[in-house]
Amino acid sequence: MPGQLNPPQSDEILAAIVRDSDDAILSKTLDAVITSWNPGAERMYGYTAAEVIGKPVSILAPTDLANDIDSIMARIKMGERVHHYETVRKHKDGHLLDVSLTVSPIRDGQGRIVGASAIARDITAQRQAERDWEERMSHLAYHDPLTGLPNRLLFNDRLAQALTTARRHGGKLAVIFADLNNFKSINDTLGHSVGDALLQAIANSLVACLRSIDTVSRHGGDEFVILLSEINHTSDTAKAVQKIAASIETVHRVGPHDLKVTTSIGISIYPDHGLTGEGLVNKADAAMYRAKSGLGTKYEFAG
């Protein structure tokens, strides 16, 4: 009829879908040589069609994943369709992409497999978000949420490792239990937000005064437990305890407040005071309570 528009043919519709897709769509021979390349592939991988058509699809894969392509093509040759296969591909500039691939056989008019089509979706942002979440959950499982210090679980794990090393080499280690003496009065008079900020300041001060091989942990409330993983003599521990006490009892600036607390410290040494992690922590805890009977900052060794 006059004025009637001709509807688009199916080939035209398919070509428009491929052209306008946000996904990378390409075809390749059974030898994995690229034969077509849509604009989505150019955006995703950075190569123009002229740069990749006639090239092996392996240019898109990291060197250690060359067998990944061989495995996919072997399945295609058997007539399989590979659904949502997650792997890693390489951008023209060298950075890596997490991708989800769907690869399908291409058949000729007689049903023979003559090539493969591939649809690739960039899932890098999604996978990074998942990795960040998993890392955060793992960190929260092993760290105190207020101070960021290792919690009891991580401390016990590091203590167990340090004990294994000490037993193997005939070494010594120390467990130090530090309790803040007048922290409750700060919480009661200035509020929990100030108390929390003070705990964070003390945590940072403790980390700064110790070696990287040592572990400072918060066991809850106003208690800090410290592992000195390698010591030579008891006198080394006494020097470390003096540094710990000084870092705690220094004046900490919290908002408009200059705050100072004292501490009571208990110390146990492997193997002098115990052979197990639990025993060493319990003896350091008991020694700390003996130290609390005095005034000001004071420390006691386990009996």
pLDDT-derived band at 297 (thresholds 50, 70, 90) equals low
Task: Look at residue 137 and tell me if it is in a domain.
Answer: no
Domain end among 128, 159, 186: 128
By annotation, the residues acting in catalysis are 222
Domain end among 128, 161, 187: 128
Q: What is the pLDDT of residue 303?
A: 81
pLDDT tens-digit map of 67-118: 889 999 999 999 999 999 999 999 999 999 999 999 999 999 999 999 999 9
Domain range enclosing 296? 143-301
Q: Can you tell me the distance from the alpha carbon of 165 to that of 163, in angstroms, rounded to the nearest whole number?
A: 5
Write the CA distances from 112 to 80, 83, 108, 115, 117, integer angstroms. Answer: 13, 21, 5, 9, 14
Q: Which helix (H) or strand (E) holds 214?
A: none
CATH code where residue 235 lies: 3.30.70.270
pLDDT tens-digit map of 213-240: 999 999 888 999 999 998 988 888 999 9
pLDDT tens-digit map of 162-201: 999 999 999 999 999 999 998 989 988 999 999 999 999 9
Q: Are 228 and 237 in contact (CB under 8 A)?
A: yes
Q: Which helix (H) or strand (E) holds 223?
A: strand 223-231
Q: What is the pLDDT of residue 138?
A: 87
Same domain, 151 and 257: yes
Sign of the C-alpha dihedral, residues 39, 42, 47, 53?
negative
Same domain, 249 and 100: no
Number of domains in the chain: 2
- pLDDT at residue 204 greater than cutoff 70: yes
CATH code where residue 38 lies: 3.30.450.20
Q: Can you tell me the distance from the alpha carbon of 53 to that of 45, in angstroms, rounded to the nearest whole number?
A: 13
pLDDT-derived band at 130 (thresholds 50, 70, 90) equals very high
pLDDT-derived band at 277 (thresholds 50, 70, 90) equals very high
State percent of the chain over pLDDT 90: 79
Same domain, 294 and 147: yes
DSSP of 152-190, one letter per residue?
Answer: HHHHHHHHHHHHHHHHHHT-EEEEEEEEESSHHHHHHHH
Q: Can you tell me the distance from the alpha carbon of 6 to that of 56, in angstroms, rounded to the nearest whole number?
A: 40
Q: What is the pLDDT of residue 161?
A: 96
